[in-house]
């Protein structure tokens, strides 16, 4: 709501006139709380971190601009999901993501086991620059979606089913066999798809180190997509934000547990031996 909207509603509901300064003082207190939240110290280790970006409309210098809102969602050692922070930029890019991970490192995050993300060019390298031992896991939903861009409508369902055999395989060797079979079947029509998967193969296969229930947690960024849906519900009535700070006023903590976390933690203890905090 704009200051004028707030004044009008208070007048209608309570018959009281309030000044813009009074409104500003209240909202500024919210901004201070958000700043404290954004700069709070974090845990030293996060087994899983999901990163994503969405676009919001912000008014700036009497113009309406599309801006990129960056989000990082971490899973802590107790299996709780927590929004680590929100950042704003003119557009999404790997260089800005590098600054995001630099800030996380400055806020005491020393290690990330698995970073889940979409396929933005340069984003995996941005993570690996600051966290060289982190395994980057590309989102399979995004991989399939990007693959289907090349496919005619009549073949989409069949291609998607054949790709599911690849990322749904029991082990990496089996996945490689299914990818070879996919190439034999579809390369004549859609050679770009198998090339895409082979190019990103090293960031497709980390999920095969884990059992099925843990794979479902790490092979998609749907977890952070649910945060995006919550944000979009809030922003539905704010199609244009009056400022960057107005966007950050919607910040909150998303905390919820990961199912079967004890089993996942045991797997992480074996797969990442020596890196779990005592």
Q: Which domains does the chain have, with CATH numbers?
A: 1-39 (no CATH), 41-137+221-278 (3.30.420), 140-219 (no CATH)
Binned average pLDDT, 10 residues per bin, the chain of 278 residues: 80 86 78 82 95 81 83 91 88 89 96 91 91 95 93 96 96 97 97 96 94 82 67 60 60 61 88 88
pLDDT for the residue numbered 101: 96
Residue tagged 């707030």 (tokens): 6
**C-beta atoms surrounding 59 within 10 Å:** 14
pLDDT for the residue numbered 89: 87
Q: State residue 135 phi and psi, 5-degree precision.
A: -90, 125
Q: 159: buried, middle or exposed (CB in 10 Å: 19+, 13-18, 0-12)? A: buried
Q: Quote the CA–CA distance of 116 and 239 in Å, as a whole number.
A: 29
Tell which residue, 208, 216, 73, 195, has the closest CA to residue 146: 195
For 59, residues 6+ apart whose C-beta sits below 8 A from its C-beta are 65, 240, 241, 242, 243
For 85, residues 6+ apart whose C-beta sits below 8 A from its C-beta are 38, 71, 72, 100, 103, 104, 107
pLDDT for the residue numbered 275: 92
Q: 245: buried, middle or exposed (CB in 10 Å: 19+, 13-18, 0-12)? A: middle
């Amino acid at each position: 709501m704009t200051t004028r909207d707030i004044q009008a509603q208070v007048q209608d509901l309570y018959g009281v006139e309030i000044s813009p300064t009074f409104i500003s003082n209240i909202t500024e207190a919210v901004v201070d709380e958000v700043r404290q939240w954004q700069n709070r110290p974090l845990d030293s280790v996060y087994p899983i971190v999901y990163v994503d970006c969405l676009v919001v409309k912000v008014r700036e210098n009497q113009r309406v601009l599309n801006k990129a809102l960056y989000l990082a969602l971490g899973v802590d050692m107790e299996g709780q999901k927590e929004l680590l922070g929100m950042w704003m930029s003119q557009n999404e890019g790997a260089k800005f993501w590098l600054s995001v991970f630099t800030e996380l490192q400055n806020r005491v995050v020393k290690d990330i086991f698995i970073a889940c993300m979409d396929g933005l060019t340069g984003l995996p390298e941005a993570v690996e620059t600051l966290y060289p031992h982190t395994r980057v896991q590309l989102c399979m939903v995004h991989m399939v979606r990007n693959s289907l861009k090349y496919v005619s409508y009549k073949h989409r369902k069949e291609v998607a089913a054949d790709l599911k055999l690849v990322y749904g395989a029991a082990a990496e060797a089996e996945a490689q066999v299914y990818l070879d079979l996919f190439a034999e079947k579809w390369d004549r029509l859609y050679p770009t798809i198998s090339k895409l998967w082979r190019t990103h193969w090293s960031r497709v296969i980390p999920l095969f180190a884990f059992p099925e229930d843990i794979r479902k947690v790490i092979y998609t960024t749907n977890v952070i997509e649910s945060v995006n849906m919550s944000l979009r519900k809030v922003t539905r009535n704010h199609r244009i934000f009056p400022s960057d700070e107005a966007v950050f006023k919607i910040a909150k903590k998303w905390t919820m547990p990961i199912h079967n976390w004890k089993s996942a933690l045991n797997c992480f203890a074996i797969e990442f031996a020596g890196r779990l905090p005592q």
